[in-house]
A and B are shown apart, each in its own frame.
Chain A
Amino acid sequence: MKEVEIAIVGGGPAGLSAAGIALQAKAGVLLIDDGLRLGGQLVKQTHKFFGSKEQYASTRGIEIGRILEKGLEGYPNLEVWLNSSVVGYYPDGVLTVLKEEKLLKVKPKRLIVATGASERMLAFANNDLPGVYGAGAVQTLMNLYGVLPGKRALMVGAGNIGLIVSYQLLQAGVKVEAVVEAMPKVGGYWVHAAKLKRIGVPILTSHTILKAEGEDWVEGAIICPLNEDFKPIEAAQKRVEVDIICLAVGLSPLSELLWQAGCRMKYIPQLGGYAPFRNRDMETTVKGVWVAGDSAGVEEASTAMVEGRIAGLAATSSLGYEVEDTDGLKRELREELEMLRRGPVGETVRKGVKRALI
């Protein structure tokens, strides 16, 4: 059994930020990630980020991942396990980790869960055909591995992910036939939608997908307008010739470990699904278990980084390590979070967080 001071599950923006602050204070950190490299989903984000300067606004996501990873270099108190899946958390505080085909046990004094989120599915006929992808999967395939998923795409969902990935498909040389969105208006930032409009990609609001067509893989899609009650107006359906159907219909927190740990959870639609109750330090209802990033509620990479720092700071100081001006730093981080969630864009998340706060 391996004993560590702080185990962090997930090496995305939240986990890396938590690790950074703990390492600076000289706490021992084991960072575990199931991917082949650190950075989580930042590694495929070719667009420039919004937010504040502290959260690397106007820097591309891929660069932010590299900056965060670089910040962990040279710390002897850090151990990183890649290609390692945490598969269980037991009542005695032991994590089981599948690493290189071995099941290892880890007993951390403190646990930070930063497992992120997973993409949601949408119900329509033949939604299981190869060629129906999560938008994030297409992003991974194109931006990380340089492989095209096909030639012509239909994007389902005009939130930020749908809009951004549509533009990235165009950048990679794929034709985007249309973006369909069930809501009567575009959900994402106007600047992302405008880029598509300028190129001539139709964004069809009050539209949905009814069916994927094809024998062994996607060869087309039937799309259809929706009436005011979100019912399909089937007489007006039409077929688009596509070999890619991309789903960008939202994310849900990956909360299995939190459930296993016995954290009190609540279904909070504003946070994307079941989310853990947490205090302002991001500690859950189970003492010694913190949460940060999308696994606490689906939001942005910028807020994930701040939450990671908050959780990392709290976990580190609870072990007795001194961080200079802890209270001042804590206040600063909380203010940053508030600022990032300001305005009409942050309204939904603000409501969700309020419901989860204890």
Chain B
Amino acid sequence: MRIIQHPILTFEKGQKVSFTLDGRGLEGYEGEPITAALHDAGVKVLRRSISLGRPRGFFCAVGKCSSCLMTVDGKPNVRVCMEPLREGMRVETQKGKGELVERG
């Protein structure tokens, strides 16, 4: 949910962009952290914990707590509270530790 009216703040937004979450099409604004767009869409579970599979969400918002690690464009363990959203990003709920990506 976006804040439509605020007594003090106005929000500057980037271009509207499309991205996917586990293959599902979503929209957000370019340059905002991925979590902002996910929260707007009501998505709270970002990954599953490694041993017990418990849901993990957004906790600190400043890249310190490691709660919000997701797989983005195939790369695991991306802090989505800090990672700017771009057109066409493939965001996936992360399960487990994530595999290291091989690069050419």
Which residues of A approach B to under 8 Å, CB–CB?
Answer: 34-36, 41, 46, 60, 62, 83, 85, 118-119, 128-134, 136-138, 140-143, 145-149, 171-173, 216-217, 254
Contacts and interface: CB of A to CB of B under 8 A. Distances in A.
Nearest to B3: A146
B44 A171 contact: no
Interface of B: 1-3, 6-9, 11, 13, 31-33, 35-36, 39-40, 44-46, 49, 54-65, 81-82, 84
Contacts of B32: 145
Nearest to A145: B36
A146 B2 contact: yes
A333 to B, nearest CB: 28
Contacts of B1: 147-148
Describe B's contact surface by its main secondary structure. loop
A141 B36 contact: yes
Contacts of A140: 61-62
Contacts of B3: 142, 146-148, 172-173
A37 B77 CA distance: 22
Contacts of A145: 11, 32-33, 36
A116 to B, nearest CB: 9
A145 B34 CA distance: 11
Contacts of B44: 130-131, 216-217
B33 to A, nearest CB: 7
Contacts of A131: 44, 57
B55 A217 contact: yes
Query: Top 5 A-B pairs ranked by shortest CB distance?
Result: A130-B57, A137-B61, A146-B11, A145-B36, A140-B61
A138 B39 CA distance: 11
B45 A217 contact: yes
22 contacts: A34-B63, A46-B9, A60-B8, A62-B9, A83-B82, A118-B60, A118-B64, A119-B60, A130-B44, A132-B59, A133-B58, A137-B60, A137-B62, A141-B61, A145-B33, A146-B2, A147-B40, A171-B8, A172-B3, A172-B6, A216-B44, A217-B55
A296 to B, nearest CB: 18
Given A147-B3, A171-B7, A136 B60 contact: yes
Contact of A137 (B40, B46, B59): B59
Given A128-B56, A143-B9, A172-B6, 19 more contacts: A36-B33, A118-B62, A128-B54, A129-B55, A131-B57, A133-B58, A134-B60, A137-B81, A140-B61, A140-B62, A141-B58, A142-B3, A146-B9, A146-B11, A147-B2, A147-B3, A147-B36, A148-B39, A217-B55
